[in-house]
Structure 1
């Protein structure tokens, strides 16, 4: 067969596998939005079957042989060659896991997810502890099967950001933590800004409508996506023309819905910007979760918590909630939404204390995988470190170690990407401002098109062509540098608090 014929066969196989995976993703989305409680068990079976099918289709000997043969061809285009290389890497990794193991993992995740939902409802970690213990045992086994150097956790982090290691993350956190602590201590000694306006009564339906408007403002295409409600806000994609976001609404906390909409909208814009022509192939997939998180944090914080954005959008907010917001100036609103104060909930945390939330989860995960703590130790460790890192007392499990959905999904190795995403976001936004001197004036006038177009050109179009480090360097001219985040945060909060 010619190279063209071989590549066509490869593409057909990969797109068939993608069809199965995305069918599974639809069921997972439904599980977290509309699934009736009695459907849990059969949904778990359906998801396990589809996961097993996708794995079996991808790890056949015939697929391996096809990838090896294609990889040896010299007459493929650059994008074709890169797709094959990445698929071969994925194949080599996935073939280490049996279909039976993949099914067991899917079943364990389904059990853990529903146990987590019940545990949150009952405010009792004990309900979640045993299913989580069983899931972690499988994650340890997965790390051993995949293989790793130095630390088992490296094998799991690699799933979310290729090449990311404990040594790298430890180095970044060790650099970030003392500088954040200095900035936080300076803020503690200054008069606190007022954000009480966020905690009035805001009608649920009106919040929902305003959230839809915010998504439109940043460029979310509702012809290629939708928003729904869920316990924990998330984004999922079935292709770049069908991207789903969710939010949650608290009638006594306007910030809960607002910035989860913008945050998830940032994720969704990335998914909608990936190349449709590469459907089912690596170049249609996101680079890494660190890069993915950089997209959501850039929109949520650099723009959505920026003064220019609200100099334009506050007027519309006041039409939705005249009684609550008519007396506010854009400057007052801006300061209030950027209030820095240690808190319990990661998704509601300010930009500075947020990283301590991530560090605590990262430390727990490392120790769970290396076996220095067990699942029964999680609440005590969590509560102790929220006190020592943030000075807050955890009153109950629902506001403590049960607040995140990630462990119930088996997503171990994920949390560090949240902090990395914030760091990358600051570096990307500095590059945007450098290349487009008028960008903040444009945002103040109501247009975020320059930002989205820059991201489409420099991030979205490349899919998985580059690693996070390579893509960051290509987009900004230098490797990941946490100094950009520190400079951004120092400038921003010096102005807000008069440091």
Structure 2
């Protein structure tokens, strides 16, 4: 066969594998939104079977031979060659993991998710401890299968941002930490802003309608997606025209739902912007989770916690909640939503203390994977770190080590990407501002389209063409530079806290 025929065969194989993976993703989405509790065991079996089938198809020797043959061809287009290179990398990685291990992992995390949900509702870490221990032991085995240099945690972080290592993240965090503490110390000595109006009673159904409107206003296409309720907000997709987001609503905290919607909306805009003609192929997939988080943090914070955004949307908010906000000015609202104060919950944290929430989880995961702490030690270690870094006392497991869904999914190696995403977001937003001097005026007038257009062109449409650092370089002219975040935060909070 010639190159075109071989590539067509490759594309067909990859898209069939994608069909199986996304069928599994539909079941997992349903598991966290609508699945009745008694359906859990069969659902675990169904997801495990599909995961095993997809793994077997993707590690088939015939696919490996096809990829090797295609890589030797010199008449492929640039995008075709890049797809083959990336698929061969993925194939080589997946070949290291036995199919029975994939099934075991899938079954274990399905049980683990429901044990976590039960433990969280009953505020009891011991109800989750055993299944979490099983997940951790499997993740250690996975690291050994994959192989690594240096720390075993490197093998797991590589899944979320290729090339990311403990050494890289430690250097970034060690540089970031003192600068954050300097800002926090300066703010601590200033009069605190008022955010009490965010904690009045806000009707659940009305909040829901507000969330839908905010998603629409940042460009989310409801003809190509939907929003639902889940215990922990998340985004998933089955292709670029079927992207699902979820949120949660607290009737005594308007911010919980509002910035959950904007955060997950940022993820969803990325997925909706990926090239549909590359379905099932690497160039139709996101670059990395650090870049994915940059999209959610950009919309949540750079835009959604910005003054310009609310200069346009504050009147909308008042139409939904006229009584709660009748005495609140636009400026008071802006300052209140950017209040800096150490807190218990990561997803509700301000932009500065947020990084300490991430650092704590990162340190715990490293310690668990290297074996320096055990699963049973997590609550005490967590509480100790929260007191050390944030000066807060953790009252219970629900508001402590059970607050995140990630460990129940086996997502070890993920958390550092949250902080990296914030750093990338500030750098990307600075690049957009450099190119568009009228940006703030546009946002204040309700026009977010040029932000989305820039992100589509420079981030979304690139798929996995580049690794994170290279994509950042192409988009902004520099590799990741945390000073953009420090400059952004210093300017913002100097204005808010005078």
TM-score normalized with structure 2 length: 1.00
Note the C-alpha offset of 1:468.
0.2
Give the structure 2 partner of residue 16 of structure 1: 16
> For residues 440 and 267 of structure 1, what CA distance do their matches in structure 2 show?
22
Residues 106-185 of structure 1 aligned to structure 2 (within 5 Å): 106-185=106-185
> For residues 135 and 247 of structure 1, what CA distance do their matches in structure 2 show?
26
Give the structure 2 partner of residue 465 of structure 1: 465
Give the structure 2 partner of residue 482 of structure 1: 482
Residues 299-378 of structure 1 aligned to structure 2 (within 5 Å): 299-378=299-378
Give the structure 1 partner of residue 261 of structure 2: 261
Q: Alpha-carbon deviations, 1:215-267, whole Å to 9, x = none?
A: 00000000000000000000000000000000000000000000000000000
Residues 52-71 of structure 1 aligned to structure 2 (within 5 Å): 52-71=52-71
Give the structure 2 partner of residue 432 of structure 1: 432
> For residues 35 and 142 of structure 1, what CA distance do their matches in structure 2 show?
29
Note the C-alpha offset of 1:99.
0.6
Note the C-alpha offset of 1:146.
0.4
> For residues 432 and 145 of structure 2, what CA distance do their matches in structure 1 show?
42
Give the structure 2 partner of residue 33 of structure 1: 33
> For residues 472 and 327 of structure 1, what CA distance do their matches in structure 2 show?
43
> For residues 249 and 101 of structure 2, what CA distance do their matches in structure 1 show?
38
> For residues 447 and 245 of structure 1, what CA distance do their matches in structure 2 show?
23
> For residues 135 and 305 of structure 1, what CA distance do their matches in structure 2 show?
36
Residues 146-295 of structure 1 aligned to structure 2 (within 5 Å): 146-295=146-295
Note the C-alpha offset of 1:77.
0.5
Note the C-alpha offset of 1:325.
1.1
Runs of 4+ in 1 over 6 A off after TM superposition: none
Note the C-alpha offset of 1:73.
0.6
> For residues 450 and 59 of structure 2, what CA distance do their matches in structure 1 show?
42
> For residues 14 and 330 of structure 2, what CA distance do their matches in structure 1 show?
50
> For residues 84 and 372 of structure 1, what CA distance do their matches in structure 2 show?
40
Note the C-alpha offset of 1:4.
0.4
**Local SS of the residue matching 1:238:** strand
> For residues 220 and 320 of structure 1, what CA distance do their matches in structure 2 show?
20
> For residues 395 and 61 of structure 1, what CA distance do their matches in structure 2 show?
53
Q: Alpha-carbon deviations, 1:311-365, whole Å to 9, x = none?
A: 0100011011000112222111100000000000000000000000000000000
Give the structure 1 partner of residue 72 of structure 2: 72
Give the structure 2 partner of residue 5 of structure 1: 5
> For residues 228 and 405 of structure 1, what CA distance do their matches in structure 2 show?
17
> For residues 163 and 474 of structure 1, what CA distance do their matches in structure 2 show?
18
**Local SS of the residue matching 1:164:** coil
Give the structure 2 partner of residue 379 of structure 1: 379
> For residues 272 and 440 of structure 1, what CA distance do their matches in structure 2 show?
24
> For residues 30 and 372 of structure 2, what CA distance do their matches in structure 1 show?
36
TM-score normalized with structure 1 length: 1.00
> For residues 361 and 63 of structure 1, what CA distance do their matches in structure 2 show?
38
CA RMSD of the aligned region, Å?
0.4
**Local SS of the residue matching 1:236:** strand
Matched positions, count: 498
Q: Alpha-carbon deviations, 1:116-146, whole Å to 9, x = none?
A: 0110011000011111111111100000110
Q: Alpha-carbon deviations, 1:425-458, whole Å to 9, x = none?
A: 0000000000000011000001100100000000
Give the structure 1 partner of residue 89 of structure 2: 89
Give the structure 1 partner of residue 494 of structure 2: 494
Note the C-alpha offset of 1:111.
1.3
**Local SS of the residue matching 2:161:** coil
Structure 1's unaligned 5+ residue stretches are: none
